[in-house]
Amino acid sequence: MTELTEAKRFAHAWVDDNRDRLSEFDLEIWRYAEPAWREYRSARAYVDLLRAEGFTVEEGSGGMPTAFAATWGHGGPTIGSYAEYDAVPGNSQEPVPWQSPRPGLHPYAAGHTDPHSMLGVGALAGVLAAKAAMERFNLPGTLRFFGEPAEKVCGSKPVHAAKGYFDGADAFLSYHPLNANTTVWETHCGSYWSAVFTFECAEPEKWAALGQSPSATADSAASSHITARCPGAIDALCLMYTTTKYTKEAMFPHTGTWTLNEFILAAGDATADNLPPRIAQIQYSWRSPQLDIQERIWSVLANNARAAASATGCEVWTQWVTKTRVGLANNALADLTYRNMELVGPPVYSPEAKEFGREVQRRLGLEPMDEPFAATYERLTPPQEYEAATRTLLPEWQKNFTSDDYVDYTWHAPTVRIYTGRPTLRPPSPGYQYPAWAYNAMGGLPEIVDPGMFLAAKTIAGTALDLIERPEELERARAEFEGRTGGVGGAKWVAPLLPPDFYPPVDLRWPEYVTTARGEEWWLPTPHPGARERIG
């Protein structure tokens, strides 16, 4: 059993003493609800807080305006963690037990789902508590804390990795709210790749010359209306979309888990029906458990893009959004971290938290439950038990599952993946799905978020202090990392998949809040109640 040392007691007490201000900071980030690559206020709030706590902070790290890299301490082991703070378009919701998007904005504005506000503040609190204990007991060590934007497109961590920000660390502590209080054993997240295809109709006149009507003359004022019009960029995008739907089955194995999704970023710029749209952009994002599957998907997408461009008089360009590796386990660090979680004990949810869940159920016409949250949220789950449950979902050959860009940390130092509960409501019957607003609303309630968030904080602080005070624990984790990889640069090590000079895709047309003469809006203007008419 891991010992509850004097330094850990101090760190745990520090979390308790700072609970109110950290809970309010979580709500501050939750209210900003800024989406990927546009988290300007959220990043500023973290930078200001970290500087006030004595950290040296590099803003805009890796060429990403909403990223940062913070450092405190000297000597000893270097322990890292990070915050995420991006929200998700289409998930706007007030923290009330009925559907209520944020007032004054389009109902499809962004909102926190997981929520990343809880994730970031849980990790921040753990690092600050470890720092306070290190100062109190004069413990040598260095803490690194990263601001990681755009996790929903797995955007920043592969960039930080490629540009050397993770080099020289001794261990990383990765936290995420989820459906259990545990650490991950062997089955870590898989790979996520994303690219934007831009179709550009730069020379439509070459197409028109091929289909020139015999009755048209070069000096005819009406020639642009009677010649064959180049299909242009929207047709290219549509061909890309449909061709990829047709060829989707050819991209993947027929077992295991994978996904391929698309999002239209831009859809043309024509202002007259006789002129071809000059530009259109479609983003593809795909997840799978192996890099060779990722490469296969990419080859099909690239082939489809070339064919669509050729058929429509366009050129096609690609811009990578991200390319992640797959996660690498470290059981030694997972075991140490879970032992520190046991020292804290499971979270307990107040009567007020559970009553909010019951009120959601009432509003949905359901019979409110005495225990609206699943029992798993108020107990600890050993990592081996959680691993066994995960493996029941997967074929034997599959070593990784779903995706998250924390995996890029795992190839640079021993890394643990920590989960603490973020409660969901019990379904009244098998297969029942609560609406997304109910899940999102609970993420803005301190009485629901705080128990798991502060369990994570104390677990992170305790683990960091063990790695500093007990060198044999760090050596166990390092030896396992060396055995699995051969060390950084070793025979089994996988290097970052993006080049060091990679330009982050911050210039793309990502959803965001905008300021106009009408005030602050979501990028989709707020609809006027009388401006739309339902058809049918």
Q: If residue 293 lies in a helix (H) or strand (E), which one and from where to where?
A: helix 291-312
Q: Which domains does the chain show, CATH number per domain? A: 6-190+326-485 (3.40.630.10), 192-212+224-322 (3.30.70.360)
Residue 357: partners with Cβ closer than 8 Å, 6 or more residues away: 369, 372, 373, 423, 425, 442, 448
What is the mean pLDDT for each group of 10 consecutive residues in the chain (536 residues)? 92 98 98 98 98 98 98 97 98 98 94 97 99 98 98 98 98 98 98 98 78 48 65 94 92 83 84 80 97 96 97 96 98 98 98 98 98 96 98 95 97 98 96 97 98 98 98 98 97 98 96 90 86 80
Measured CA distances, 180 to 30, 189, 343, 380, 416 (Å): 22, 16, 16, 7, 15
Tell me how long the chain is.
536
* Tens digit of each residue's pLDDT (9 = 90 or more) over 185-239: 999 999 999 999 999 999 988 875 554 444 444 454 445 566 678 899 999 999 9
pLDDT at position 249 is 82
pLDDT at position 251 is 81
**DSSP string computed for 83-94:** E---BEET----
Please give the backbone phi and psi of residue 201, each rounded to the nearest 5 degrees, phi first: -100, 80
pLDDT at position 463 is 98
pLDDT at position 526 is 85
pLDDT at position 210 is 52
Are 234 and 279 within 8 A, CB to CB? no
